[in-house]
Structure formats: C-alpha cells, structure tokens
Structure 1
Amino acid sequence: MNKAQVKAIVTGGASGLGKATVQNVIQSGGMAAIFDLNEEKGEALAAELGKGAAFFRTDVTDPEETEQNLAAARHWMGGLNTVINCAGIGTPGKVVSKNGPLPLEQFEKVLKVNLTGTFNVIRLAAAFMQQNEPDAQGEQGVIVNTASVAAFEGQIGQAAYSASKGGVAAMTLPLAREFASAGIRVMAIAPGLIDTPMFEGLPAAAKETLAQGVPFPKRLGRPEEYAMLVQHIIENPLLNGEVIRLDGAIRMQPK
C-alpha cells in the first residue's frame, strides 16, 4: 500500500507509540483517526496535525462505542484501509504478594484492554475493510497490532501483561490466514524497552540502567522507530502473519 493512500485508525493514538504512528501517517500524506480515552491529549494532537487527523474518544473495550466511532471515522476519511492497535495498559503485580493473591479483576482488566480491546477493533474494522475495492495487488487492508517482548520473556509481576500480549502475538497467524481471502494482511510488533509515557516517572539513572541491558543500541527505543516499522509493514506487501521484535536484541531477565 502506498503510504499516501493510508486511511488509518490508531488506537492509543494520543500518546507514546500511537502518537508517533499518527504523526508518521500524517507526515507521509495519509489520514489518521485518533482513538483514545484521553480527550485533552487527543484533541491537542489532532489540532496540531491539522485536517488529516481527527480525534474520537473511544474505549476499545466498549463494542457499541467502538463500532460507532469506526463508522464515523471511516465516513470522515472516506474509507478505512489501515488499523494500528496501540491501546494498552501495563498494570504490574505478583500473583501472590505480601498482601495475598492478586485480585482477579486486576488480571481481567489487563486482558480486557490489551487483548479483548485489540480483538474488538480488529473484528469491526475487518468487516469494513472487506468492503474495500482491492488494489492492483488485491490488497484491501492492513492491520498492525502491538504485542511485546513480554509475550516471550515475561518478568516476575507481568503474568497478566504477558498473557495479554502473548494472546496478541498468538492470534496474528490465524487472523492473517482467515483474512487472506479478503486481501487483508495482519502483523504484530513486539517492542522491547521503548521510551514512552510508561517510563516518565523513572529517574534518569534508572532509565540508563535499563538502557545498559540492551545489547545494541544501548539506549531505550524511540516511539518514532516503532512508527517507522509500521510504515514499512504498510508498504511491504509480503509482510503478513508474523510478529516482529523491535528490541535491540534484548532478552528480558526474570526481574
């Protein structure tokens, strides 16, 4: 797909990986609908980027709201051919701590946002994409989901997060196989340590310690590097049904 033809929905698009992706889409000549819960940041980003971007306050776990906003965003853009799912939470917690067993609702919430929310957007967006006119290669859409290296090397306290991101990684291939007949590609990116708002509360020394654990380059990843990979996935028609690690060769330790 040509980057200038992109009409994308980006969940979690008001900050971090999602924000960088929205910025990249607009700078490349495409259009982007920002789906996020943070109205202040979402509206500000849309205003900053101009007519190619619009904000839709969206809870990706709410099926009715998500469907309504997908339809509205599709109408506003005059189509929908790309979805990038970045919405997610990373609430940590040991399964059994000094306070006792992890509250079940905490585990369920992480799965609901990270896995069910991602699937909710996919199922609704894919139904719209299947109505698109195929391009010269027969392509009708591209879906990029966000997994994590925690899907493969989850640390202590990441049982819920790892389970949710492992689910995102595991459904990549079956989704790609199902949607192949409709010309819709499905990919996932598994970021390592990326300098997003999740790390904002850490002092510089703590960030540097984390960075030293990355073989090369010895630094935290940048959101724009995630966005660069998204752009390549969109433009490269042979990328399908795979999870790409974006991690500087890091392999996470138990803690």
Structure 2
Amino acid sequence: MDITGASAVVTGGASGIGAAAARALAGAGARVVVADLNEAKGQEVATAIGGVFVRVDVTRTEDIVAAVDVAEQLGPVRVLVNSAGIGWAQRTVGKDGTYGSAADLAAYSKVIAINLIGTFDAIRIAATAMSRTEPLDASGERGAIVNLASVAAFDGQIGQAAYSASKGGVVGMTLPVARDLAAIGVRVNTVAPGLIDTPIYGEGEDSERFKAHLEQGVLFPKRLGAPEELASMVLEAATNSYLNGETIRVDGGIRMQPK
C-alpha cells in the first residue's frame, strides 16, 4: 500500500515506539498526526517530521475524533498506529490477608481503559474515516491499522495482571476486527514488542545496570531492542497489502520469566 500523500494518526506518538513509528511513516511519504498527551514532546516530534500535533487522551472519544478530523484535512486517512499505553504492576492479593491490600481495582480499570478500550475506540473512529476514502486499487484496499501490544500478552510476569490483560485483549481482537474491517478494505495487524530501550527505563548508572540485567533474558541479539526496529515492523504492517489479521512478536526471541 502506497502511503505517499496519505494521512496517518499515531497515538502515543510523542516518544518511544510511537515517535519512531511517526518518523518512519513520514519517511514513507505520509502526513502524520502525532496524537499524545505530552504537548511539548508531541509538538517537537510533529515539527521534526512535518506533521501536526493534536493533544489526545485516548479515553476521550472526542479527542480521538478531533485527531482524525485533522488527519482528514491533511489527506485521505490510510493509517492508524495505536501506540498509546501505560504500564502498571501490582500483585493480585496483599501480604496481610485483608481485602484492602488486594489489587487496586481502579488502577486495573485505568490500564484496561487506556490500553484496550482506548485502542478499540481509536480503531472504530479511524476506520470510519477510512471507509469514506476512495479505494487505492482494484482489490478495494483503503487503509491499515497497526496496534502495539507486548510480549506480556503471552508471557506476563508477576504483578502484570492488568497490563497483560490489556495487551492480551489487543491481541485477541486483532483477527475479529480484521474480519470486520475486511468489508471496507482495511487491514488490521498487531506488533508485540519485547524489551525496547525507551525513556521508560530512565537514565544514569542505575538505569544502565537495570537494562543490563534485562538483556540477559534476550535470546539474540543480547540487548534491548531499538524503537526504530519496532517502527520498521510497524511500517511493514502498514504497507504490506497481504499482511492481515496477524500478531507479530519483535522481541529478540525472549520468553519472559515469572519475575
């Protein structure tokens, strides 16, 4: 699928994998809407790639609609990348045997709301805009959606019940949503990253020691992944017209241990 002159929306596009995906899409000729809560970093990324920043909280449908509306002004909406998400770690029960020490249900719900429901909301809004575009070719292709999940969807660690459930939900809906959107010529794929070297790990000696520890679990190459390596797969999933309904691990062969 040629995305030259088309528009793309990247949620969570202000940093990390989302920012790398935004750069890759722009490099392939797309006009990119960087949709994120972080205005300073989001505007910086958008300016660097000749795109547009829109402040988006993916738990607010009106924010998603606003981003897609801006994208439609830039060109036909052909690509959505769902990279917005948060992590959370907490054990299911506490150590003192009281109900009050059990997992915080509000925190669990927030992770699901952002990572899973926010992803689906962005899909349904962006796909609606895609359905209004002219098909690109005789096959009727109109666009592509790429979700970011995590290897935690398969190998969730201790304390990752909320995060793994949210990412497992994204994996689980990939095929049925792809089947739904086949009627309008829109493909849906999911990329499941392993351990990626992003600002989430912080900076300094302690951060480097922690990352060195994490690297030991990677099969090969024995290092954390680079955001650009994920962005490469995101771009492939967006532009390869015969890739549909798939979840692809990009993780150096890691299989996460319980902790």
User: What TM-score results when the alignment is normalised by the length of structure 1?
Assistant: 0.95
* Contact 1:6/1:25, CA 8 A, preserved across alignment: no
* Contact 1:13/1:19, CA 8 A, preserved across alignment: yes
- The counterpart of 1:67, out of the listed 61, 65, 68, is 65
Which consecutive residues of structure 2, in runs of 5 or more, have no partner in the other structure? none
AA paired with 1:127?
T
Which consecutive residues of structure 1, in runs of 5 or more, have no partner in the other structure? none
AA paired with 2:71?
A
AA paired with 2:170?
V
Residue of structure 1 equivalent to 2:142: 140
Identity among equivalent positions (%) equals 50
Secondary structure of the structure 1 residue equivalent to 2:25:
helix
* Contact 2:178/2:186, CA 8 A, preserved across alignment: yes
* Contact 1:66/1:121, CA 8 A, preserved across alignment: yes
Residue of structure 1 equivalent to 2:12: 12
CA shift for structure 1 position 86: 0.2
* Contact 2:31/2:75, CA 8 A, preserved across alignment: no
Residue of structure 2 equivalent to 1:95: 92
* Contact 1:3/1:231, CA 8 A, preserved across alignment: no
Secondary structure of the structure 2 residue equivalent to 1:216:
coil
CA shift for structure 1 position 3: 4.1
1:103, 1:23 → 2: CA distance?
Answer: 37
Residue of structure 2 equivalent to 1:244: 248
* Contact 1:215/1:250, CA 8 A, preserved across alignment: yes
AA paired with 1:57?
R
1:181 corresponds to 2:178: no
Residue of structure 1 equivalent to 2:200: 198
User: What TM-score results when the alignment is normalised by the length of structure 2?
Assistant: 0.94
Give the paired residue count.
Answer: 252
1:12, 1:124 → 2: CA distance?
Answer: 16
1:31 corresponds to 2:31: yes
Secondary structure of the structure 1 residue equivalent to 2:54:
strand
Runs of 4+ displaced beyond 3 Å: none
Which digits, 9 at most, give the CA deviation of each residue in 1:179-215, with x for residues without a partner? 1111100000010001112222552121111112101
1:135, 1:47 → 2: CA distance?
Answer: 28
